[in-house]
Amino acid sequence: MKVQELKHAGLKKWVEDAVALMSPDSVEVCNGSQAEYDRMIQITIDNGLATPLNPQKLPGCVLFRSDPSDVARVENRTYIASEQESDAGPTNNWINPDELKKTMTELYRGSMKGRTMYVIPFSMGPVGSEIAKIGVEITDSPYVVANMHIMTRVGTKVLDVLGTDGYYVPCFHSVGKPLGTGEKDSGKWPCAPLDKKYISHFPDTREIWSYGSGYGGNALLGKKCLALRIASVLARDEGWLAEHMLILKISNPQGEVKYITGAFPSACGKTNLAMLIPKLPGWKVETVGDDIAWMKFGKDGRLYAINPEAGFFGVAPGTNRESNLNAMETIKKNTIYTNVALTEDKDVWWELIGHDAPGKLIDWNGNEWIQDKNNKDQKPAAHPNSRFTGPAKQCPAIANEWEDPAGVPISAFLFGGRRPKTIPLVNQAKSWVHGVFMGSIVGSEVTAAALDVKAGTIRRDPFAMLPFCGYHMGDYFKHWIDIGKKAEADGKGDKLPKIFFVNWFRKNDKGFIWPGYGENSRVLAWIFERCDSKGKFVDTPIGILPTPDAISRPDGVSEADMQELLKVEIEGWKAEIADVRQNHYPKFGGKLPKELAVELDAIEKRLNT
């Protein structure tokens, strides 16, 4: 489709203005077809940016290597440019939106010379769903177009829903590398230097402007930019929730079904939990989403969630057939790999894939690499943030309801982090506000590998949203509290999901006490029961805990281990409360909801009784 054929007058003008500013050689409006996807991949292969993989082992798969400066989200170059600095809050980077737009407009000027501008109409969520939102991304990267094809619903069907005057979120993106006459990328990943990269969000006008990066969440603007940073603002204003949460479907041996969401900071096993294969006989877990949940109230007063994405953009290292068999099966075909290692027979390899490197590899920098297990300082073959982009529909565990436009009814929220001590295996909130308190103090213990923080320090990531909330986190906490108040006022408080905190990472002198992975189904079974006010439990100062015999024990976990996993460490919790009071909550100043301060006092009082 050509720009002139766009029926939405506002969209047509927006694209024409972008063309005038960015000066591309040509413009294409994406139709979302398989032929279009195949053409994008072929363009990147012809430009030396993509390597086709072994069609016998990985049919339809390709490998990209990015520039070393362009390998992850650049949080220090990510901005929330609200009109008022106070609306961005202390945990976001703020720049005056007028100044930022002036700076970026000059960067965009002529930025697409020598390139094609692609206009990507995309739906976050099933096309036409009342919970879904439409975005339009302008980009000069065929890599971005191909990834957006997998991660979102792209094309003509989205324009049909948008109609002549529908609402969309406008998203600018350029890799920031214009080409001279006759110049080509010639195998060199296009991007701008780090100090010219900008991933900018304008919450007041609902716009996203990204410049200089071609990678991941910096460039796939449906991902964190729209689905969380802008959507969190829309959700606040419209009375719903846009969360950094997995969604899973769980069935008990009797065939009863519940849907559970979970928020976990990075490296806490969110995708693994979403694709869990239960070790508990008779139980079944299916995947609705592995990263983001959008939730709105239904007429029955329950929260209904959709997964706004259509694919998985997962971290490769550590993913293997033991940690996540369903992910490994998902990415066996039609998958884009970025910054993993290449074997001699055009297969992929990464650290902790489950087997040693098969001979000589080409590492993510394009250099020869031979595994040396005696060299602990050997640089990894795959970048630690290397990725796979795979279609969700290929997941063997995908739930039938994953694209239900009405969403699925949520029974429980899980929060969790990596905590070797203090936090029990599972803990149910006493009330909605207590659950919001638990979400607000989520964190993981920093290891010695983190150079910027003392080992043993708790790095807080409230609701796992700290890098992704488009406004002040104090106001975000208040929004959660208001959601509960609204349900109560409507007489539907009993319809709200129950809230739980889980911690698979408790340690003793022998290592992890709980085996995790598929054995986590035993904890999910107790949560399932508690959603119906069943299951054995004990009321404690910190919340509702299972009795040690309420959760069936996996092999290798003793009765004493269960006592350890489920005990209330009074002194540890006193230290936790003190850390929250002294180091965490003060960050939010006068915007910290008084309900959370009251909850903090109440827990401290119970611990001292």
The mean pLDDT value for 413-435 works out to: 97
* Model confidence band, residue 455 (pLDDT cutoffs 50, 70, 90): low
The domain 312-394 belongs to what CATH superfamily?
Phosphoenolpyruvate Carboxykinase, domain 2 (2.170.8.10)
CA–CA distance, 337 with 329 (Å, rounded to integer)? 14
Joined tokens for residue 497: 């999901």
Q: Is 561 helix (H, G, I), strand (E, B) or coil?
A: helix
DSSP class per residue in 74-96? -GGGEEE--SSHHHH-TTSB---
CA 10, 16, 18, 21: dihedral to nearest 10 degrees? -140
What's the distance, CA 115 to chain centroid? Answer: 30
CA–CA distance, 330 with 58 (Å, rounded to integer)? 11
> In one letter, which amino acid is 47?
N
DSSP class per residue in 545-560? EE-TTSSPPPTT--HH
Q: CB of 369 within 8 A of CB of 360? A: yes
* Model confidence band, residue 1 (pLDDT cutoffs 50, 70, 90): confident
> In one letter, which amino acid is 154?
V
Give the global pTM: 0.97
Which class is 243-309+399-608 in CATH? Answer: alpha beta
Q: Residue 447 pLDDT more than 90?
A: no
Which class is 3-48+77-238 in CATH? Answer: alpha beta
The mean pLDDT value for 69-90 works out to: 96
Tens digit of each residue's pLDDT (9 = 90 or more) over 561-589? 999 999 999 999 999 999 999 999 999 99
Question: Going by DSSP bridges, is the β-strand pair 78-80/198-202 parallel, antiparallel, or unpaired?
Answer: parallel
Q: CB of 329 within 8 A of CB of 320? A: no
Percent of the chain with pLDDT over 90: 97
Q: CB of 230 within 8 A of CB of 201? A: yes
- Minimal CA–CA distance to 382: which of 330, 343, 335? 343
The mean pLDDT value for 385-397 works out to: 98
> In one letter, which amino acid is 31?
N
Burial of residue 493 (CB within 10 Å: 0-12, 13-18, 19+) is middle
Q: What is the pLDDT of residue 451?
A: 44
The mean pLDDT value for 137-162 works out to: 98
> In one letter, which amino acid is 398?
I
Q: CB of 433 within 8 A of CB of 481? A: yes
The mean pLDDT value for 488-507 works out to: 97
The residue extents of the domains of the chain are 3-48+77-238, 243-309+399-608, 312-394
Q: What is the pLDDT of residue 446?
A: 77
Tens digit of each residue's pLDDT (9 = 90 or more) over 311-366? 999 999 999 999 999 999 999 999 999 999 999 999 999 999 999 999 999 999 99
Q: Is 263 helix (H, G, I), strand (E, B) or coil?
A: strand
Burial of residue 176 (CB within 10 Å: 0-12, 13-18, 19+) is buried
DSSP secondary structure code for residue 608 in this structure: H
Q: Which residues contact 36 (CB under 8 A, 6 or more apart)?
A: 30, 145, 149, 155
Q: Which residues contact 507 (CB under 8 A, 6 or more apart)?
A: 420, 421, 513
CA–CA distance, 9 with 476 (Å, rounded to integer)? 35
Q: Tell me, yes or no, if the two domains 3-48+77-238 and 243-309+399-608 fold the same way.
A: no
Joined tokens for residue 32: 């979302």
Percent of the chain with pLDDT over 70: 98
Q: CB of 83 within 8 A of CB of 94? A: no
Q: Which residues contact 413 (CB under 8 A, 6 or more apart)?
A: 245, 260, 261, 262, 263, 435, 439, 497, 498, 499, 500
Q: What is the pLDDT of residue 532?
A: 97
The catalytic site residues sit at 268
Q: Assign residue 418 a region: left if phi > 0, alpha if psi is -120 to 50, beta otherwise?
A: beta
Q: Residue 452 pLDDT more than 90?
A: no
CA–CA distance, 56 with 68 (Å, rounded to integer)? 30
| Mean pLDDT for the chain overall | 96
